[in-house]
């Protein structure tokens, strides 16, 4: 099954979410492929491995949780042009305590430096272990010798070691998509939990993070929690070693660059600009999350409006929040807080003919997203913490006019790569207000200078490079490739 381009049998992705959801229509079942970063990244990786539908080679196998739409079908496997999906079934209580509980009520807030939002409940950890065990069962059922098993994100930290114990020769990659915090934060986890999590990750051959800081933090935890020897980026185990490396994820530059020039996007962009009417537009789009810094962002905009009354009636902030995790109380609270703040500011500054903030709580189509990236003058991206943040990279990739200013939090992983953005501390609302002022007054030549540098960077450091570098390091840290080639 191997070929020169692809030394592995198959690519087997394991992530909490499947790459598509199912929809029942009069014609039958429609599989709606997710437009998320991971799906695009994996498709690009498969292309690189010579494993795409167009090559007539096997599709990507993907193990993920069976959401309600998939459960309704009761299928054991679902297939579209790119993927064969293998759903993991779980009862509602297990899923709730694993996903809403351990993942999103503990690890997410803790690893985004919101320890006071974290809830430590024994049952959460028990269900997390159970859920990771159910993913293992599916891996055992699906994996074949020679597969590259690529596990994703904080929902599955125990899985690499579970797979290693079950299939000692497995080739396992793991990618951590959220920030890995300093040991002071990890230490807040009960001793046995933090040991299990760090040990769980070490089942992989290579563990990827977005930034060099996250790698250092992880290595610090390995030292503190397991006292293992470390040589550079290599963690030395008795029988093998594990590499921890930084691989900043990115976007498919051409998809955004070319997509933004289609007539559908241009028409929508022009319609938006006509409807909004103000000479300047600020845009932001985020999943609903307290880590995105949306309330501070609004307060920064409020300061800007107070201090720069000449901009009243001349600027609109289009703020889109994409629904997410809204069953979890902290998410419901932040939604309420955002909506109250938007209402207060529109009430305070707005007039009959001018709304300073155009807020919507919804998902955007790809066309609308590109239209807003290209319609705006300023992208205001101010997370309190963000593993990477792909919104800013998408924005840059669409701006072939070399115009537009990026205001970016220094706490987004992407800030490590984008020095030509206006980097701000998101909780410093005066700094945010000043950055907005600087952005809306920036001469076209300076915008072009900054944008060109950032576009060159994203064009080169695109998602293909990300997957290529991850695969290269994985190849270097395993003997499997060599053994397959000599078969």
Binding residues for ligand G6P, rule: CB under 6 A, are 17, 153, 177-178, 324-325
CB-wise, 292 or 399, nearer to ligand G6P?
Answer: 292
Name every residue whose Cβ is closer than 8 Å to that of residue 67 and which is 6 or more positions away in sequence.
17, 18, 21
Contact 82, 19 (CB under 8 A): yes
CB-wise, 149 or 345, nearer to ligand G6P?
Answer: 149
CB-wise, 324 or 363, nearer to ligand G6P?
Answer: 324
CB-wise, 39 or 172, nearer to ligand G6P?
Answer: 39
Minimum distance, C-beta of residue 161 to ligand G6P, in the bound complex (Å): 19
Q: How far apart are the first and last CA of the chain?
A: 11
CB-wise, 139 or 451, nearer to ligand G6P?
Answer: 139
Minimum distance, C-beta of residue 153 to ligand G6P, in the bound complex (Å): 4
Helices (H), 350-420: 366-375, 391-398
294-307 and 429-440 are packed helices; what angle lies between their axes, rounded to 10 degrees?
Answer: 60
Name every residue whose Cβ is closer than 8 Å to that of residue 90 and which is 6 or more positions away in sequence.
65, 66, 98, 131, 134
CB-wise, 176 or 272, nearer to ligand G6P?
Answer: 176
What the block records as the tokens of 310 is 């000449």
Minimum distance, C-beta of residue 332 to ligand G6P, in the bound complex (Å): 15
Minimum distance, C-beta of residue 136 to ligand G6P, in the bound complex (Å): 19
How far, in Å, are 99, 146, 200, 206, 480 from residue 476 at the CA level? 34, 16, 22, 10, 10
Name every residue whose Cβ is closer than 8 Å to that of residue 302 and which is 6 or more positions away in sequence.
345, 348, 429
Minimum distance, C-beta of residue 359 to ligand G6P, in the bound complex (Å): 21
Name every residue whose Cβ is closer than 8 Å to that of residue 33 and which is 6 or more positions away in sequence.
19, 20, 39, 80, 82, 83
Reported residue count of the chain is: 487
CB-wise, 156 or 375, nearer to ligand G6P?
Answer: 156
Minimum distance, C-beta of residue 49 to ligand G6P, in the bound complex (Å): 22
Q: Measured between alpha carbons, how far is 458 from 487 in angstroms, rounded to an integer? A: 39
Minimum distance, C-beta of residue 106 to ligand G6P, in the bound complex (Å): 13
Which helix (H) or strand (E) covers residue 407, if one does? strand 405-409
The residue number whose beta carbon is nearest to ligand G6P equals 177
Minimum distance, C-beta of residue 334 to ligand G6P, in the bound complex (Å): 14
CB-wise, 408 or 442, nearer to ligand G6P?
Answer: 408
Going by C-alpha positions, the residue among 33, 152, 23 that lies closest to residue 85 is 33
């Amino acid at each position: 099954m191997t070929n020169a381009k692809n030394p592995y049998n198959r690519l087997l992705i394991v992530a909490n979410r499947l790459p598509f959801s199912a929809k029942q229509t009069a014609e039958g079942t429609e599989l709606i492929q997710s437009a998320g970063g991971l799906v695009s990244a994996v498709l690009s990786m498969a292309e690189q491995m010579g494993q795409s539908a167009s090559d007539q080679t096997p599709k990507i196998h993907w193990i993920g949780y069976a959401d309600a739409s998939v459960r309704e079908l009761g299928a054991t496997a679902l297939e579209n042009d790119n993927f064969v999906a293998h759903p993991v079934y779980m009862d509602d209580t297990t899923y709730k305590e694993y996903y809403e509980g351990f993942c999103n009520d503990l690890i997410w807030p803790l690893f985004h430096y919101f320890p006071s939002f974290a809830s430590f409940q024994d049952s959460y950890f028990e269900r997390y272990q159970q859920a990771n065990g159910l993913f293992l069962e599916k891996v055992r059922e699906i994996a074949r010798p020679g597969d590259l098993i690529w596990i994703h994100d904080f929902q599955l930290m125990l899985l690499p070691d579970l797979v290693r114990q079950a299939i000692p020769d497995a080739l396992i990659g793991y990618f951590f998509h959220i920030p890995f915090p300093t040991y002071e934060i990890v230490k807040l986890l009960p001793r046995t939990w933090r040991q299990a999590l760090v040990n769980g990750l070490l089942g992989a051959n290579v563990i990827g993070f977005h930034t060099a800081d996250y790698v250092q933090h992880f290595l610090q935890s390995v030292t503190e929690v397991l006292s293992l020897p470390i040589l550079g980026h290599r963690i030395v185990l008795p029988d093998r070693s594990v590499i921890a490396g930084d691989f900043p994820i990115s976007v498919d530059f051409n998809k955004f660059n070319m997509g933004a020039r289609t007539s559908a996007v241009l028409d929508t962009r022009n319609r938006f600009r006509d409807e909004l009417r103000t000479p300047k537009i600020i845009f932001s789009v985020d999943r609903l999350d307290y880590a995105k810094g949306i309330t501070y962002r609004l307060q920064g905009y409020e300061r800007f409006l107070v201090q720069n009354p000449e901009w009243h009636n001349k600027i609109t902030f289009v703020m889109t929040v994409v629904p997410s995790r809204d069953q979890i109380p902290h998410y419901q609270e932040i939604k309420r807080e955002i909506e109250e703040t938007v209402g207060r500011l529109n009430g305070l500054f707005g007039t009959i003919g001018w709304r300073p903030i155009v807020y919507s709580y919804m998902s955007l189509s790809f066309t609308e997203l590109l239209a807003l990236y290209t319609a705006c003058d300023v992208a205001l991206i101010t997370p309190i913490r963000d593993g990477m943040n792909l919104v800013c990279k998408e924005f840059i990739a669409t701006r072939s006019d070399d115009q537009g200013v990026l205001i970016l939090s220094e706490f987004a992983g992407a800030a490590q790569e984008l020095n030509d953005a206006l980097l701000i501390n998101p909780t410093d609302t005066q700094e945010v207000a000043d950055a907005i002022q600087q952005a809306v007054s920036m001469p076209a030549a300076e915008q072009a200078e900054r944008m060109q540098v950032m576009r060159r960077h994203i064009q080169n450091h695109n998602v293909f490079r990300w997957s290529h570098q991850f695969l290269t390091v994985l190849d270097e840290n395993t003997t499997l490739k060599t053994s397959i080639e000599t078969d």
